[in-house]
Amino acid sequence: MITCVVTYTIDPAKTPEFEHFSRRWIELVNAHGGSHHGYFLPAEGASDQALALFSFPSLAAYEEYRQLFGVHPDFVAIDAFRDETGCVVRWERTFMRPLLP
């Protein structure tokens, strides 16, 4: 299993737009072979940091999912929404492996 941790810098004035963006990505990950563990939004402290965690059975499965970027209409639409609204300032991906009991 591989878990992708995405750290976002968001525009705090556009939190509702980021929430829409996030809900849609949860659906897309779950529909295309992954398990989304949720988005974690600012509550206290820095108001411009958010996290997302989702897992795929393998790096190969994640790469199959990534093949849809820029091609599948649902992926193109949500990326356009992100860009048009400016709700995401920047993001960074890290891959981790969970240590489970």
pLDDT in tens, 14-40: 999 999 999 999 999 999 999 999 999
Cβ atoms of 94 and 4 closer than 8 Å:
yes
Instruction: Give the Cβ contact number of residue 71 at 10 Å.
Output: 8
Q: Is residue 71 part of a domain?
A: yes
**Amino acid 76: pLDDT:** 96
Torsion of CA 94, 77, 11, 4, to 10 degrees: -10
- In the numeric block, which tokens belong to residue 77? 């639409």
CATH number of residue 17's parent domain:
3.30.70.100
Does 44 have pLDDT greater than 90?
no
Show the domain range for 49.
Answer: 2-96
Q: Is residue 43 part of a domain?
A: yes
**Amino acid 78: pLDDT:** 96
What is the total count of domains within the chain? Answer: 1
pLDDT in tens, 45-83: 779 999 999 999 999 999 999 999 999 999 999 999 999
β pairing state of 35-40 and 88-96: unpaired
